[in-house]
Amino acid sequence: MSKKTPTIALVGPPNVGKSTLFNTMLGKRIAITGPRPGTTRDRAYGETKWNDKRFILIDTGGLARKSGDPLEKNIRAQTQLAVTEADAIIFVVDAKAPVSAAVNTTKELKEVLRKNKLLNKLPVFVVANKIDSAKYTEKAKADFVRLGLGGIWPISALTGRGVGDLLDKLVEEIEKSEDEEPEEIFANVAIVGKPNAGKSTLVNHLVGEERAIVSPLPGTTRAAVDVKISYKGKILKFIDTAGMRRRSKIDIDVEQYALFQALKSLENSDVVVLMLDAADVRARFEQTIAGKLKSSVKGIVIALNKVDLLEDKKEIERIKESTIRRFPFLRFVKFIPISAEKGWNVKELLEAIVEAKNSRLKEIPEEDLTKDLKAWIKKNPPMKLRAQKKPVIYDLEQVKTNPPVFMLVVNDPAAIHYSYVRHLENKIREKYEYAGTAIKIRLRRPER
| Per-domain residue ranges of the chain | 7-173, 185-360, 366-444
Q: Matching CATH topology for 7-173 and 366-444?
A: no
Using CB atoms within 10 Å of the CB of residue 18, give its burial: 0 to 12 exposed, 13 to 18 middle, 19+ buried: buried
Q: What is the pTM of this model?
A: 0.62
Specify the fold of 366-444.
Answer: GMP Synthetase; Chain A, domain 3 (3.30.300)
Instruction: Say whether 68 counts as a known binding-site residue.
Output: no
Instruction: Say whether 37 counts as a known binding-site residue.
Output: no
Instruction: Say whether 300 counts as a known binding-site residue.
Output: no
Helix, strand and coil content of the chain, in percent to the nearest 5, comes to: 40, 25, 40
Residue 357: predicted pLDDT = 97
Instruction: Say whether 61 counts as a known binding-site residue.
Output: yes
Instruction: Say whether 204 counts as a known binding-site residue.
Output: no
Beta strands in 111-260 (DSSP E): 124-129, 152-154, 185-193, 225-231, 234-240
Residue 329: predicted pLDDT = 94
Instruction: Say whether 265 counts as a known binding-site residue.
Output: no
Instruction: Say whether 391 counts as a known binding-site residue.
Output: no
Residue 431: predicted pLDDT = 95
Distances (CA, A) of 132 to 94, 155, 157, 166: 12, 8, 9, 15
Instruction: Say whether 13 counts as a known binding-site residue.
Output: yes
CATH 3.65.10.10 describes domain 185-360: no
Instruction: Say whether 308 counts as a known binding-site residue.
Output: yes
Instruction: Say whether 15 counts as a known binding-site residue.
Output: yes
| Separation CA 199–CA 196 (nearest Å) | 7
Query: How many other CB atoms are found less than 10 A from the CB of residue 360?
Result: 23
Instruction: Say whether 196 counts as a known binding-site residue.
Output: yes
Return the CATH class of domain 7-173.
alpha beta
Instruction: Say whether 194 counts as a known binding-site residue.
Output: yes
Instruction: Say whether 221 counts as a known binding-site residue.
Output: no
Q: Which residues contact 181 (CB under 8 A, 6 or more apart)?
A: 2
Instruction: Say whether 226 counts as a known binding-site residue.
Output: no
Instruction: Say whether 18 counts as a known binding-site residue.
Output: yes
Q: Which residues pair with 238 in a beta bridge?
A: 189, 227
Nearest to 404 by CA among 430, 431, 441: 441
Q: What is the pLDDT along the chain (448 residues), one digit of tens a residue?
A: 345 678 898 888 888 888 889 989 988 654 444 444 444 445 577 888 888 888 888 888 766 555 556 666 667 777 777 787 788 889 999 998 888 888 888 888 888 777 777 777 788 899 999 998 777 788 888 888 888 887 889 999 999 999 999 999 988 887 755 444 556 889 999 988 877 788 888 888 887 754 444 444 444 444 445 678 889 999 998 875 654 444 444 344 444 444 444 555 677 799 999 989 888 767 677 888 888 889 999 999 999 999 998 878 899 999 999 999 999 999 999 999 999 989 999 999 999 999 999 999 999 999 999 999 999 999 999 998 887 788 999 999 999 999 999 999 999 999 999 999 999 999 999 999 999 999 999 999 998 7
Instruction: Say whether 6 counts as a known binding-site residue.
Output: no
Q: Which residues contact 352 (CB under 8 A, 6 or more apart)?
A: 301, 334, 336, 436
Residue 4: predicted pLDDT = 62
